[in-house]
Amino acid sequence: MHPLCRICGFSFRPRLQMIAAVLSAAALMGSLISCGGSSTSGSDSTSVPQTVVQLNFGDAPADWMLAFSLQISSMEMNRANGAAVPFINREMSMEMTRLVATVQPVALISAPQATYTGAKITISAVNATYIDPETHALVQQSIQGPFTASMSFASPVTIGTTPYLFNFDLDLLHSLTKDSTGKLAFSPVFHMAAAAQGSGGTNGPATGTTFQIAGVVSSVSANSFVLEPQQAAQGLTFGTNVNTQCSGNMHSRDMLKVGMGVQVSGALQADGTLLATGIHSRMNSGGMMGGGIITEVTGTPATELTIVMQNGAGASVNTDYLSKPLTVALTENTSFEIDDDRISLDGLAFTPVFDASHIYAGQSVLPISESTGMKVSGTGGNTGSMTASYVRLEEQGFRGTTDMAITPASAATFTLTLPSDCAFTHLTGASAITVYQLSTTRVQNNTAIPSGATLRIHGLLFQDAGNWRLVASTIATI
């Protein structure tokens, strides 16, 4: 089950389109509109009161996939009175496999207060990258559309005066198939959960109370800034206050500048605005970030990485690179950092280490070039390269079965057994990882989970004396 109680538990497989529906919301409300967004509109929406709606996306993985990105064209939601309200009206792309056991906001929109009964989504194409189980070679495929999905919600969703939250989980495990020749087919299955903000805000990313998103700052004011994420339907306006934590090459909110690449930890507030709780910057104007899963490490200590891109930001980066390989050169001046904004690494039974001598295939990283963008080579610009000023170890997700019961708000160590076709297993040979649950680890619905359950876990992954160890930020069931 999705971390929120499902209001609309639809599973639909009309070719490729469903996902487009949710993602591309149209616009920001109030002050957000003044920063480049636009409110949604329907045939009669101009006379209907509006309410802030946050749209999030997440993923239940297909374990053999390294990366899977969607190119979404448009989406509209159907009101009970028959009016169609556009929620997405611009092309956008999103890589899904990085969102295992978590979600990312893609839009904060102003939607008409009404009852919604369904949606129509259009997707232009998808791109997939996986490890061949026999040769262990990297395989890339694209499936071209357009595809349209028309769906009816299992239960109507009514948006009133309270800010609303929608989570859309792509069930990639049951959406993607491969025939005997290796050809992929995609028939999307989604799970959607919706709730008024404040009705269940204790489950972290699943309820909009905390998340992290990368992008470039497009404008700055005294108490807010606009972030342009590479994978979103629009710019997102974040408020700041005296409690907003700044790190990296900025030590205060006053150092935030247009053109900076940043990672933002934030929270959806009860009034429907976004508050930045943390801002980390290592990238100046003209630089780039290019995050993904490491598939190859060259040298000891490492001098070069090959990653499959799942995330990125910067003037030289566009979403065409999602699910494609990126070569990252490391120098003696490259610095290594751990993105521990959501996880405490104190008091563990092992010492987490991440540096040029402790970086491995299978880990998720975010290489950052402070001022130099990507260089493009290869046919169609599908391969890029960069020299990293910094490499950050990022959280990543896994699916597997637990060998012990999970109790919320407690510290524990357990073994997560991975599926036999897991891409991580093909890369590393490991069939299980040791998971460290902290007392602060978010457990789905704050409810105990029995031993033997299938879990989705998000956290920081380390290699320690030949053993894989994951420090968990989030634990959810399938």
432-453 pLDDT, tens digit per residue, is: 999 999 999 999 888 999 999 9
The rounded distance, in Å, linking the Cα atoms of 472 and 36 is 36
Tokens of 163: 């800010």
Question: Any idea which of 12-21, 83-92, 295-304 has the lowest mean pLDDT?
Answer: 12-21
Q: If you average pLDDT over residues 66-75, what whole number do you get?
A: 89
pTM of the model: 0.84
Q: What is the pLDDT of residue 267?
A: 82
Q: Please enumerate in sequence order all residues whose Cβ is within 8 A of that of 300, keeping only pairs 6 or more positions apart, or say none.
A: 357
Q: Check pLDDT > 70 for residue 4.
A: no
Q: Check pLDDT > 90 for residue 337.
A: yes
- Residue 458 backbone phi and psi in degrees, to 5: -120, 135
Q: If you average pLDDT over residues 68-81, what whole number do you get?
A: 88
Longest Cα–Cα distance in the chain: 65
Q: Are strands 325-329 and 383-387 parallel, antiparallel or unpaired?
A: parallel
DSSP three-state, residue 386: strand
Q: What is the pLDDT of residue 333?
A: 95
Q: What is the pLDDT of residue 39?
A: 47
Q: Which pLDDT band holds residue 374 (cuts at 50, 70, 90)?
A: confident
Tokens of 93: 């792309």
pLDDT over 70 percentage in the chain: 86
Contact 106, 92 (CB under 8 A): yes
For the segment 88-134, what is each residue's pLDDT rounded down to a tens digit? 888 889 999 998 878 888 888 899 999 998 888 788 899 999 988 77
Tokens of 181: 């020749």
Q: Check pLDDT > 60 for residue 16.
A: no
The rounded distance, in Å, linking the Cα atoms of 235 and 215 is 9
The rounded distance, in Å, linking the Cα atoms of 322 and 186 is 18
For the segment 271-286, what is each residue's pLDDT rounded down to a tens digit? 888 899 899 998 877 7
CATH topology of domain 397-477: OB fold (Dihydrolipoamide Acetyltransferase, E2P) (2.40.50)
Q: Check pLDDT > 60 for residue 202.
A: no
The superfamily in CATH containing domain 211-283 is: Nucleic acid-binding proteins (2.40.50.140)
Q: Are strands 211-220 and 224-229 parallel, antiparallel or unpaired?
A: antiparallel
- Residue 313 backbone phi and psi in degrees, to 5: -165, 150
